[in-house]
Each structure stands twice: as C-alpha cells, then as structure tokens.
Structure 1
Amino acid sequence: MIDFRYHIVSLISVFLALAVGIILGAGPLQGAIGDQLTGQVEQLRTERNDLRDELDQANLTLDDDARYIEAVGPQLVAGALEERRVAIVDLDGADTDRDEDVASMLEASGAEVVAHVRLTESWTSADDESARETVADGLGDKLGDVAEDSTPDQRLARALAMSLTGASDDDPDARSEGATELEALLERFALVDLVSEQTVPADAVVLLGGPAPEEAVSSGSADDEGAAPDEQTLDIEVAVAVAAQDVSEAALVVGPTAEGEDLVSRIRGTEELAQQLSTVSGVEAEAGQINVPLALAARVTGEVGQFGFEESASAVLPPAVDLPPVERGADDGSASGEAPGDAGEGSASGTGTEEG
C-alpha cells in the first residue's frame, strides 16, 4: 500500500512547478512572450488587410470583365442567326431568368424566337409512363416513317419536334395541320406547357437543360424535388434532343456548368451522342449565353461541338461560320418532319428515331 506521505510529496511537486512557472512568466519571460505574441498579431493583421485588398481588386477586375462581356456580347452575336426561326424547349420545366436571357441573346443574333414550350413532369415521371405509352400508341402514322423498335418516349420526342418545325406544303411561313394537331395532343395530355403561341414553323431548336443539384448528387437521391435527374430521365431528354436534331435544321442543348450528372455531361460523355449533338454549358453566365447563337449557327452548317470551360468541352468559343441563305418550301422536308439540313446523320443507337 502507498503511504500517505507519497501523496504529500506529489502535491508539493505540483505546487512547486506552478510557482516556478508563475515566477518565470511574470519575470524574465514576460517581455519575450508578450513581444512574440504582439508581433504575431500584427503580422496576422497585416496579412488580413493585404488579402482584403487583393480580394477587392479581384472583385473590381471581375466586375470590369463582366461589364465588358455584357457590352461586347451583342456585337459578337450580331447577324449570327439572321432570319432563322428558333423554338425554345425547357426540358426541366423551370421558369427562370435563364429563359429570357437566352431568348434575348438569340434575338440579338438576328433570330426570331417563334415558340417556347416547357415539358411537364408527366413527360419524364415514372408514374406517368403508362399514360405516355397510350399517347404514343395513339400517334399512329402522324410521325411518318419511324423505326419499328422506337420506344414510346422516342415517338413522343419526334412528335414534339415535328409540332415545332412542321410547315405547310402550300405556305412555308405557316405551320402544317399535322404540326398543330401534334401540339394540341401533347398539350391536352398535359405533357407540355405552351409559354407562347406559335404561329410559324421553327427552323432550329434550342433545348434548355437543368442542373444536377449538389445535394442530390452527394446523397444519391433522385426522389426529392429538385433532385438530380436519374438515368431514365436523362435517356428521355436525350431522345428529345436527338429527335430535334433529326427533324430540324439544327438543334442545340444548353445548360449550366456541367457537373457530371446533367444532360450536357451525358451527351459529352457518350461518344456517339457527342458526334451528333452540340452543347453549350455555363449558360447561367454571360459567356455561356453568348455561345448559344454562335453554337447554333455552327450546327446549322454541320459543325458539331461541345462549348464551355470544363474539361469535357471541346472548345471555349464556337467557330465563326457563314450561314447558308434561308430556303423554306415544300422541298426542305419540314412539312414531313424530315430535316432540311444534315439530319440524315445516323441517330445514336437506342436514343433516337430513324428517318423515313
């Protein structure tokens, strides 16, 4: 057993050490420690002020760059899509300032935005899959010659594209009866919302994709509102893009900065799709919006590219092109849903419909 005197010795040692520390701290070490701490505080304060000045300067530079891009944007795109008619399709159904910004940039390029539609949740919802199959089966021969193994979603995608681009045989400036019937059918079954009334057929289609939210990507959930699109949703959206390219003079998929779980990333990550469909990312910023009419014009001439600042992009800026003159008429194939341009390119396997 340990004797009590050992506890006394331990306590005395502790108090002696404490006393020595107090004496040294209040005596010879007091000035050195205080000076050292004061110097460190002053150094940290100086570094903080320097970093704040650098941040203010960086913000001023960014503001200047943004003002410059905003000012030069309309000049860069001026005439890029002269006399082209463009339809805008919201794939994610979102009603945001992005829509107006993209439309404004298209109009600044000389294009006329003749249609704006939003796909509803019913277009991609698994709960409405049987309803979509019923609508697709009821389309009959309204779609012309399509692949026998085309899925209901591919048939609906073609119906949407034809409703936007179908022109009358007698008047190329008027929509065909088939186009208006398809539009009415899609609206009646709540598959699309018509943002604006369309009176003339579109030459090209811009498809607006949504982001892949961080919380949905990190959690792996696709059930909550705002969740990242699941594989089936992306397949359906790809089918819409492929059909738009097959039927129109040109189609372009645009979206925010690519995060790896969105439509733009899916297209860029699939070689067959990337060879057929053009994309623009970063559309939430001015630079991305400027790229929209430039990339669409390049696609009209047959140039396919992935434009943005990410590693998945093929270039930052679309190439400058000279558009061919607008030729609308019965021979351009728009009345039947066939592409007047290079739509004869093969569709991606399993994602689009074959041409008739």
Structure 2
Amino acid sequence: MIDFRYHLVSIVAIFLALAVGIVLGTTLLQDPAIDLAKRTSDELTNTNNGLRADLDVLRGREAGNDAFITAQTPEMVASALVGQRVLLIESPGSSTAMREAAQQAIGQAGAEISGRLTLTEKFLDPAGKGVLDGLVNQLKPANMVFPATATSWDRAASLLAASLMTNDPAQANTPNAATGEVLGAFETGGLVSTDGDPAKRATLAVMLAPEKPYEGETAEVLADALVSVAEGFDAASKGTVLAGAVPPAGTATGDAISAARDDSEVSRRVSTVDTADMPAGRVVIVYALREQLTGRAGQYGIGKGASGMLPPVTSASPTPTTQSGS
C-alpha cells in the first residue's frame, strides 16, 4: 500500500526535476540569447547612426543650395516683371514669413506691390454665405452677371477682383470708381482687411495658401472657396499664382493647391507653386507670374499634381489667350 510518505517524496522529486531543468535550460540558453540581443541592438544602433549621418549630409546640402539660390535670386529674376503691379492675397492660416519672402523676390523682379488683401475666417465661413451674397448683390454693378452655377465665393471674388485688378496696363495703378465703396463694405463687415494701396489696380496676383490644410467637415468647402478666389482674380487680371507648401502626406482634402490642381478648368488658367517655403520656390513664383503674362499656366513644385519644378524660362511677351486672366 502506497503511504503518504511515498506521495510526498514523489511530489518533491517532480518539483526538484523541474527546478533542475529550469536551471540547466537557462544556463544553456542565457549566453546565446544575450549575444543575439546584443548583436541586434548593435545593428540597430549602427543603422540609426548611419541614417543620422545621411540626414546631416542632406541638411547640409539643402542649406548650401538654399544659400546659393538666395544669393542668386536678384540675378535670376532681374527685370522679369518690370512694369507689373502685383497684389498679394493672404488666406486665413497663411505664413507671414512665406509672404514676406515672396514679396521680396517679386520686388527684385522689378514689379511693384500694390498692397495686400487679407481674407478673414468670416469671409470663408460657410454659415455666413447669406451675408456674403447680400453684400455682393448690394454692391455689384448692374452689368455684372454671374453664371447660374456661381458659388457665394465665386461672386464675391469677381466683385473684389473687378475692383482691385485689371488686365489693361493703361489702367494699372489707377482706382476703379467703385473700389472704395466695395473695399469699405467688405472691411466694415469683417470679411477682409487691407494693407498698402490695393485700390490702385494691379495686373497680377499672388495668393498665399494656408500653411496647413483645413480639417474637419468643412475642409473641402473651405479649400474650394480659396480656389474660387484665385480663379476670380485670375479672370480679372493678367494672371494669378496660388502658392504654398506641399501638404503633409495623407492629406486628402482641405488643401487649396491640391484642389486647384484637381480642377481641370482652374488648372488651365491658374498657376500653382507648392515650394513657396523654399528659396527656389520664390524664384518659381516669379517665373510662374511671367508665364501668366504670356497667357499660359502651369503647376509647379514637388508635390502631387506638379508638372515640373519650374516653367520654361521664356521672355514675358503677352499674347492673347483664353487660358489666362481676361
């Protein structure tokens, strides 16, 4: 008969065997496991250090390239826009630094900045379209007729552009008779603000897109509204360039430059530049404006939808066409 002591000895023997097995197992496996972990860690560290070194080299190359372009910009754009007046249009969320850098390059190209028109968030607010429509209907001249498909922003842009822009060099630097009333009403309504003397009409326009794409349910509507403004100013002038930076990867909606490029009709007339945050991009803005003077448009930069980094370098000899502003 098996007694209690037999059971106790058996149980102890089992646990002792398990303990011995664990000790032997860990002793045999300890060194290989540690060695593998160490080798893996060393490989990851070396890879990381290599990537950091590559990044430092790329940053150095970029800094050198930017310094070179910045130094050469006056020569690269010299006389490209002589005799032109350029209106700067700032959208809500656009970069002041980007606008100042673009303004400097445009000035180095020989153009005169007529002033700045800054759109407010209220101007783009979808909930305020009724106010915008009412103001446009009140201020527009009797002979201004809008297409049946025109949005609130299409109509507002057409009215503002007719007041601030011209495609007739003889009328440049002169105010439209209705400009004061139109600008005053839009400013009083908190829809826009101005700087400089935009009332004296410009021949070209540069619109600065927001630094970051719009987000949320109204993102696409807001981006399309900015495209409407760019298109309206292009139609009333010798050309418009919509400039900004490449949006973050994965941005589906809310980016004004992408929205303009996705619209085949708009992209035939309005030029876009998605490298305005780079010294080279500011030169491209000037070249794109000069191309607009010839009646052509293009999509330039490094982002989706760009046809190349810059337009063909040609002289600015205006030729009539339906693809530019009228």
TM-score exceeds 0.5? yes
Greater Cα shift, 176-185 or 201-210: 176-185
In structure 2, what is the equivalent of residue 319 of structure 1? 312
The equivalences for 1:178-193 within 5 A come to 178-193=178-193
CA distance in 2, matches of 1:314, 1:201: 31
The answer as to whether partners of 2:164 and 2:199 remain within 8 angstroms in 1 is no
After superposition, the Cα gap between the structure-2 partners of 1:9 and 1:119, relative to the gap in structure 1 and judged at 3 Å, is same
Identical counterparts, % of pairs: 23
- Give the number of aligned pairs: 316
CA deviation after TM superposition for structure 1 residue 80, in Å: 1.3
CA deviation after TM superposition for structure 1 residue 69, in Å: 2.1
CA deviation after TM superposition for structure 1 residue 169, in Å: 12
CA deviation after TM superposition for structure 1 residue 152, in Å: 3.6
The equivalences for 1:285-304 within 5 A come to 285-304=278-297
After superposition, the Cα gap between the structure-2 partners of 1:171 and 1:163, relative to the gap in structure 1 and judged at 3 Å, is closer
CA deviation after TM superposition for structure 1 residue 188, in Å: 2.0
Give the SS at the match of 2:118: strand
In structure 1, what is the equivalent of residue 3 of structure 2? none
Structure 2, unpaired ranges of 5+: 1-6
CA deviation after TM superposition for structure 1 residue 287, in Å: 1.9
**With structure 1 as the length reference, what TM-score do the two structures score?**
0.77
AA matched with 1:310:
G
CA distance in 1, matches of 2:79, 2:175: 25
The answer as to whether partners of 1:252 and 1:296 remain within 8 angstroms in 2 is yes
In structure 1, what is the equivalent of residue 4 of structure 2? none
After superposition, the Cα gap between the structure-2 partners of 1:15 and 1:241, relative to the gap in structure 1 and judged at 3 Å, is same
- Root-mean-square deviation over aligned CA pairs: 3.3
In structure 2, what is the equivalent of residue 18 of structure 1? 22
After superposition, the Cα gap between the structure-2 partners of 1:6 and 1:266, relative to the gap in structure 1 and judged at 3 Å, is farther
CA distance in 1, matches of 2:54, 2:224: 46
After superposition, the Cα gap between the structure-2 partners of 1:156 and 1:67, relative to the gap in structure 1 and judged at 3 Å, is same
The answer as to whether partners of 2:123 and 2:191 remain within 8 angstroms in 1 is yes
CA distance in 2, matches of 1:295, 1:245: 13
CA distance in 1, matches of 2:313, 2:137: 43
In structure 2, what is the equivalent of residue 129 of structure 1? 129
CA deviation after TM superposition for structure 1 residue 34, in Å: 7.6
AA matched with 1:146:
V
The answer as to whether partners of 1:249 and 1:341 remain within 8 angstroms in 2 is no
CA deviation after TM superposition for structure 1 residue 187, in Å: 1.4
Give the SS at the match of 1:177: coil
Give the SS at the match of 1:138: helix
The equivalences for 1:165-314 within 5 A come to 165=165, 173-198=173-198, 200-213=200-213, 216=215, 221-222=216-217, 230-258=219-247, 259-261=251-253, 262-314=255-307
AA matched with 1:106:
I
Give the SS at the match of 1:82: coil
Structure 1, unpaired ranges of 5+: 223-228, 326-339, 348-354
CA deviation after TM superposition for structure 1 residue 41, in Å: 6.4
CA distance in 2, matches of 1:169, 1:58: 45
